[in-house]
């Protein structure tokens, strides 16, 4: 959980181990439109202590479920304009299948379980809490 921009290249470097042959990463960016409305930015509100616990639990789960070397996840809080990176996930593994599967698992679980909420700010000046994930 980070309330300021994070050095992604340092997160990536920490996943580099000699046994790793594949690396999969996912980034969630603030998108310009949602449900037909023009978005100017998103305010991420998080219950930080529980978000950290859940995030660490998810990373432990992927280490048990998939043949990976290392995994990291980062989520921003606060207001982010369109184009900013809100979430970053990186997984290194000996082979690509585990890297892709674990990376996908982490983002899916974050979206299901980690107490973070998006308040969208629209170009119209209105704001709104995103009710739930549509995709």
Partner 1 sequence: MPNIELQYFAQLQDEVGRAHERRHTSAPTAAALYDELRAAYGFALAPACMRVAINAAFAPWEQPLGEGDHVVFIPPVTGG
Query: Which residues form the interface with partner 1 (CB under 8 A)?
Result: 28, 44-47, 49-51, 53, 75, 86-87, 107, 110-119, 129-133
Q: Show the site string, 89-128: x = touches its own copies by CB under 8 A, - = not.
A: ---x-xxxx-xx--xx--x---------------------
Pick from 135, 75, 63: which is nearest to 99 by CA? 63
Q: What is the DSSP letter of 6?
A: -
Distance CA 34, CA 31 (A): 7
Report the residue number, 31 or 50, with the smaller CB distance to its own copies: 31
Residue 5 binds to its own copies (criterion: CB under 8 A): no
- Specify whether the CB–CB gap between 40 and 81 falls below 8 A: yes
Burial-class residue 17 by CB neighbours within 10 Å (0-12, 13-18, 19+): exposed
Residue 47 binds to its own copies (criterion: CB under 8 A): no
Helix (H, G, I), strand (E, B) or coil at 27: strand
- For the CB of residue 8, give the shortest distance to partner 1 in the complex, in Å: 16
Q: Which residues bind its own copies (CB under 8 A)?
A: 9, 16, 18-33, 82-83, 92, 94-97, 99-100, 103-104, 107, 135
């Amino acid at each position: 959980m980070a309330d300021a921009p994070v050095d992604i290249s340092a997160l990536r470097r920490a996943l580099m181990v000699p046994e790793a042959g594949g690396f999969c990463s996912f980034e969630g960016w603030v998108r310009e439109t949602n449900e037909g409305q023009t978005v100017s930015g998103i305010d991420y509100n998080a219950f930080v202590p529980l978000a950290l616990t859940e995030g660490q639990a998810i990373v432990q789960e992927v280490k048990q479920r998939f043949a990976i070397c290392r995994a990291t996840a980062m989520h921003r809080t606060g207001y982010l304009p369109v184009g900013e990176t809100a979430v970053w996930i990186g997984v290194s593994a000996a082979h690509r299948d585990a890297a892709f599967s674990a990376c996908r698992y982490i983002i899916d679980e974050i979206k299901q379980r980690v107490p973070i909420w998006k308040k969208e700010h629209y170009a119209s000046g209105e704001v709104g809490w995103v009710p739930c994930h549509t995709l």
